[in-house]
Amino acid sequence: MVDDSRAAPSHARFCILLGLIALIFAAQSVHLARVLVPSHDETSALFFGYLTASGRVSLYQDEVIGHRAPGPAYIIGSTQVMWGRSLMAARLASVTFALALLLLTAGLAREVGGDTAGLLAAAFLTAQGAIVGYYAIGDYHALVPMVMMAGLLVWLSGAAPVHNVLGAAVLGSLFFMRSHVWSLLPAVLLLALRRARGWGERLLVVLVMTVPPLIFLAWDIRHLKLLVSLPLVGRLVRPLGYMPFFLLDERPYQAWGWQARMLLQLTRRYEFLVLATVVIVLLALWRRRRAGPGAPVFADRRVALLAGLFVYMLGCLFVAFRINFKWIGMYFASLLPLLAVVLGYLASRLLADAALGRRGRAAFALFLVAVLVLPMYYNRNPLMPSGTVRAADPVRAVQVAGEHLARLVPADARVFFFGQVDVYYFSGLPPTYLQQLTHYDTLAVNEEDNAVLLRSGYYGMPQVERWLGAEADYAVVSPQSLLTFAEGLHNHPEVNRPKVARIRELLDRHFTRIGTVSEYPYYSYDVYRRVNRSGSASR
């Protein structure tokens, strides 16, 4: 461990201060869990997690897109099995994972940089209100980096073979967590092989990182569906009858003007973090230049490794989401702990740098206070409600709307569904057509091969004709979602408008509207019941 300065807190003081930071983190997390707007991605993940953890569906059966790794579905989904369809149960589980993540981040920073670095890393993680908001929702956002930081802490806390092999094993388990962090796996494999002291250790590293994924993929041929959206590898899976979602709904690459606006938007969302990173890195480079050409920026090579992994994984996000940079803002939450460790290390060194002078260090300390306090107040998370929406209490409203929907639709009904899934999930109604519960845009734009889109978790107009024409007892349709799909979703209005017109025609012909669920402030549902041939309601 790198020796800290004399002013560094004692172990007891470190624990007390870290405990205070953790209390602030917990209070902020619980508050955000209570107020953040339920997102469609979150609720859809809860729905499929609930169905998967209860053994009702497979994440990779034909009716499901199959792009989700299984770990979060079982872990977060188990909260829904144990406590029912509960948003807060899932979110409080995420808060628990986030607290563990905070402690692991502080522990890793302390390991590579001392007490002050550990406390500052925890403070940087706590300060980013927008990121803490992602950690507080009932999805994978806190779980994935928790596993990553646990693996890195084990991997980098010692040079013995047990650290190398066990750390590689924990990091290898990220394969089962989320595909956007898979870029870390080959880097860890190569570095762990390089660190290994003998062929036996190298063999163990290869086994612990490759055998579990290979067993999973070989266990059920449908598990290969998880790979279909990956570059290069996905083409090997397509002969099984699968197609990536971005081809089925023909998502266009956004123009550079749009991409630039998205980057500016993301910079605004994380404005204080960006400012802190720029200032700290520039100061560190300046101090390195003043110290001489041989002076390292990172005295500990492990910090340089963490910085390199952060830059590498961030670059991989830009490659993976080159269609639309907007998505990076959410996935960046998984990488922030790496950056927090690096910033904590550099800031601790600057605070102890006598060459900055007393006034220089005081000014830098005031700067740190500002960039660590302000982002907790100016929370730019897109799920943060404000104004009338905040007053409507969307977390409570989605539950009330779900209860209203449950009173209109019998629990054993076959339901055609089109819209955001939030209210439907909390109604407690069972799923009828799984394809419609991932998102309303699973009504495919590209319908050249109906069999392929059905195997890939999408559906087409032949299914709409059958479901609305004969099968479904009820239809639950969001007018706002129909309009969005028809007029602008993925820039295909010329294809989508006729489909929406046909849906409305089938609803008018075979159903009668029996009510509207409008308690949720973002959108409403029209509820329809089938009419039999004599013109009276069938139920």
Residue 230 has pLDDT above 90, yes or no: no
What integer is the mean pLDDT of 125-154? 97
Among 10-24, 99-113, 140-154, 480-494, where is mean pLDDT lowest?
480-494
- Top mean-pLDDT range of 2-11, 236-245, 396-405: 396-405
Annotate 178-246 with three-state secondary structure. CHHHCCHHHHHHHHHHHHCCCHHHHHHHHHHHHHHHHHHHHHCHHHHHHHCCCCCHHHHHHHHCCCCHH
Average confidence score pLDDT of the chain: 91
What phi, psi does 530 have (nearest 5°)?
-65, 145
Mean pLDDT, rounded, for 349-356: 88
Residue spans of beta strands (DSSP E) within 347-419: 415-418
Residue 527 identity: V
- What single-letter amino acid sits at 218? A
Instruction: Measure the CA angle with vertex 67, ends 92 and 328; round to 5°.
Output: 70
Mean pLDDT throughout 344-356? 91
Q: In this predicted structure, what is the pLDDT of residue 491? A: 65
pLDDT at res. 255: 83
Residue 11 has what pLDDT? 84
pLDDT tens-digit readout, 474-513: 999 999 999 998 886 666 788 889 999 999 999 999 999 9
- Whether residue 532 is predicted with pLDDT greater than 80 in this model: the reply is no
Q: What is the pLDDT of residue 9?
A: 52
* pLDDT above 50 (res 226): yes
Among 370, 211, 206, 184, residue whose Cα is nearest residue 276 = 370
How far apart are alpha carbons 352 and 4 in whole angstroms? Answer: 9
Q: What is the pLDDT of residues 457-473, one digit of tens each?
A: 999 999 999 999 999 99
DSSP state of 491: G
pLDDT at residue 7 in the model: 45
Residue appearing with tokens 């609305």: 468
- pLDDT value of position 476: 97
At residue 293, the pLDDT reads 65
Q: How far is CA 198 from CA 87, 144, 194, in A?
A: 49, 31, 10
In the chain, domain spans: 11-377, 390-530
Asked if pLDDT for residue 1 goes beyond 50, the answer is: no
pLDDT band at 441, cuts 50/70/90? confident
Percent of the chain with pLDDT over 70: 96
Q: How much of the chain is helix, strand and coil, in % rounded to 5?
A: 70, 5, 25
SS3 state at 526: strand
Residue 539 has pLDDT above 80, yes or no: no
**Predicted local distance difference test score (pLDDT) of residue 294:** 61
More confident residue, 258 or 42: 42
Between the CA of residue 132 and those of 21, 333, 342, what are the distances in Å?
13, 8, 18
pLDDT of residue 45: 94
Could you read off the pLDDT of 270-308 as tens digits, one per residue?
999 999 999 999 999 888 777 766 667 777 899 999 999
Q: Which of 345, 329, 430 is nearest to 383 (CA)?
A: 329
517-524 mean pLDDT:
93
pLDDT at 535: 47
pLDDT in tens, 148-174: 999 999 999 998 999 999 999 999 999
Indicate whether 133 pLDDT > 50: yes
Reported as a pLDDT band with limits 50, 70 and 90, residue 3 is: low
Query: Which has the minimum average pLDDT: 122-126, 128-132, 335-339, 358-362?
Result: 358-362
